[in-house]
A and B are shown apart, each in its own frame.
Chain A
């Protein structure tokens, strides 16, 4: 374990000292890589960990906050964003990050996801997309590809998948980007930019779940899945020049939207100033 890594490695700095390890992630799971990328981005930005809040829903991906030494809130399936909204609005000085899975964010929490994009409150939402419900044992999710096999689609999935980034762009998020567990340096950069965005930012991190998805879908190993990510990712700049038939089944990566929209807590502060100017007693 951790061959060649000393405990002063950057990731260890942010892990909980008193947490009963080992963690719950399977060997070869992509979620740990993405969590590592997030920690490295936080480290690069030198964020104050006392001020950092990490909120998650339910799923394998949503277990990530338990292991990191921040203010962490592990909530209900699909509801991380409303909890995070309450925290951020109550105390806008806090830096709020949401960790969620594809099922958590786009199925049960789909409504909160689009409204968070629309409301544009300053939260960074990292969606760990492994195209499956990992924690419950491999049922199809709103991002499982057509034809994909799952515990509840034994004859192949017939539902068309969501493109989570398109959803976020359409719903009005300030910053939307996609990276993969394979292209981890690129992912760190995307998360870093998302964390600096004064508005709602989404980073979709394509992750691999060999246990519940890969094994069923002709991947030979977790590394085979990583290789697939490597070979099928196309940077947005190259993507735009490709004919549609060459885009099919590929992953578009990079920054997909970057806008300056008015941010909710700052707008609300203006309301407070306006209201306090009235006849009401100030406290």
Chain B
């Protein structure tokens, strides 16, 4: 094992990078139930966690897993669970509990084909909306994604940091391709990492108000630290006791929304590649970013050939109209929820007079598309490439969509 100060060059799978990110983020508890295509995370952590004094447990189902993780987190351990489709559906009640009790926990959902048992070994992105709206009741939640192996590592750490900072469950939404793909990566030295740990109360236990409504994010003690308080999944007052008082209900329900809504500038990121005055914008997340990049590369290749032909032609016939290669912008979504409204709104506004079309490419029947439609408010023409057949979105198909706009 390299020491804390050295960088690590490794050939890793997405799931392995995720497990390593968890350990480096300070995760010391994993509770899970085996399910393809997420199982490698559990397998690796069953070996790695005890080496650093952490705990691994294989629970009897996924709802039990998320509950064990929340319990462990309340007892002071940064906790992780990893699952896929059917397991993610089973976890929903626990995820809601984590939101209302404001317990940090990270859930990796490696998306596979659904609904139901669906396509266990095939890729998909059909849980994008479920990750936000899967559990009942109004709540906010943070959902991140990754489009390559390095991002699996980085965003696992980011997920833990957000979970601790905002005291909330955070979901890392991977897909089968990203989770199983292998790439050479250089992981940063552990000493270079920015790791956020939860705030601890400083007041005397007698004066402790666990869910103080004056604080947007409560400062909750770990069980066993001398601050004896009540945690409940019922709507509760400042002291954590169940309440039916309308003003107390409103205070809590709106605070758990606001603590995330008011921090979107801190939470939301999206990478804008070649997005100055684009003729076409492609929007994608996860492994579809790989397909989109390949499609765009092909468009550029075609452009270069076209350019060479036109330069030659111009020598013979100088009156030929000027031609410039098309500019294709790519938006790689990183934060999935809260959806990066502001970033996309500004982008659309900046190119509303020049851009010909936005193409949303995804492996679902338009779950991202509907968010883009909402933000776009009719400003730019929209098109979607929706591929739901178990395979990684075909670059050729995205290429055709782009060239269709340009011709």
Which positions in A face B, CB cutoff 8 Å? 16, 18-20, 49-51, 53, 55, 65-66, 69-76, 79, 81-91, 93-94, 111-112, 115, 268, 271-272, 274-276, 278-283
- Find out whether the CB atom of A276 lies under 8 angstroms from the CB atom of B50: yes
Chain B residues lying within 8 Å of A278, measured Cβ to Cβ, are: 51
Residues of B within 8 A of A275 (CB): 47, 50-51
A20 to chain B: closest residue by CB: B241
Q: A85-B71, A86-B72, A90-B77 are in contact. Are A74 and B232 (CB under 8 A)?
A: yes
Q: Told that A66-B241, A79-B64 touch, could you supply 12 new A-B pairs with CB distance under 8 A?
A: A16-B230, A73-B71, A73-B74, A73-B223, A74-B231, A83-B67, A85-B59, A86-B29, A86-B71, A87-B72, A94-B224, A275-B50
Q: Judge whether A83 and B71 touch: CB under 8 Å.
A: yes
Q: Is the CB of B223 within 8 A of A91?
A: yes
Query: Please, which residues of chain A bring their CB within 8 A of the CB of B74?
Result: 73, 83, 86-87
* B interface secondary structure, majority: mixed
A16–B206 alpha-carbon span in the complex (Å)? 12
Cα–Cα, bound, A29→B53 (Å): 45
In the docked arrangement, what's the CA distance between A79 and B242, Å?
19
Does the CB pair B71–A69 fall under 8 Å? no
Q: Would you call B71 and A84 a contact (CB within 8 A)?
A: yes
**Once the chains bind, are B71 and A90 in contact (CB under 8 Å)?**
yes
Q: How far is the CB of B215 from chain A (nearest CB, A)?
A: 19
Do A50 and B224 touch (CB < 8 A)? yes
Q: Which 7 A-B pairs have the closest CB atoms?
A: A86-B71, A86-B68, A280-B51, A90-B72, A275-B50, A82-B67, A86-B72
Q: Is B52 an interface residue (CB 8 A)?
A: yes
A residues in contact with B76, CB < 8 Å? 90-91
Decide: A86 near B231, CB < 8 A? Known: A91-B224, A93-B224.
no
Give the distance in Å from the alpha carbon of A49 to the alpha carbon of B73 in the complex. Answer: 20
Interface size on B, residues (CB 8 A): 49
User: Of all chain B residues, which has the CB nearest A69?
Assistant: B228
Partner of B79, one of A53, A86, A268: A86
B61 within 8 A of A: yes
Interchain CB contact under 8 A, B52 and A282:
yes
Q: A91 to B223, alpha carbons, bound, how many Å?
A: 9
Contacts A66-B242, A79-B94, A91-B75 given; does A280 touch B1 at CB 8 Å: yes
**Whole-angstrom CA separation of A85 from B228 in the bound complex:** 19
Query: Which listed residue (B53, B77, B225) contacts A276, Cβ 8 A?
Result: B53
Chain B 43-69 against A: per-residue CB contact (8 Å), 1 yes, 0 no? 000011011110101011101110111
* With known contacts A79-B67, A281-B3, A53–B94 Cβ distance under 8 A: no
- Judged by a CB distance under 8 angstroms, whether B93 is at the interface is yes
Which residue in A69, A94, A112, A268 is a CB contact (below 8 Å) of B55?
A268
Give the contacting residue for B224; candidates A53, A74, A79, A85; CB below 8 A.
A53
Residues of B within 8 A of A272 (CB): 50, 53
B313 on the A face (CB < 8 A):
no
The answer on a CB contact under 8 Å between A87 and B75 is yes
Residues of A within 8 A of B59 (CB): 82, 85, 115
Closest residue of B by beta carbon distance from A283: B52
Closest B residue to A265 by beta carbon equals: B55
Chain B CB within 10 Å, residue with most, of A16, A75, A88: A75
Q: Is B68 in contact with A89, judged by CB distance below 8 angstroms?
A: yes
Contact assessment for A76 and B241 in the assembled complex, using a CB-CB cutoff below 8 Å: no
Question: Nearest chain A CB to B227's CB is how many angstroms away?
Answer: 8
Q: Is the CB of A70 within 8 A of B228?
A: yes
Q: Max chain A CB contacts within 10 Å: which of B64, B73, B242?
A: B64
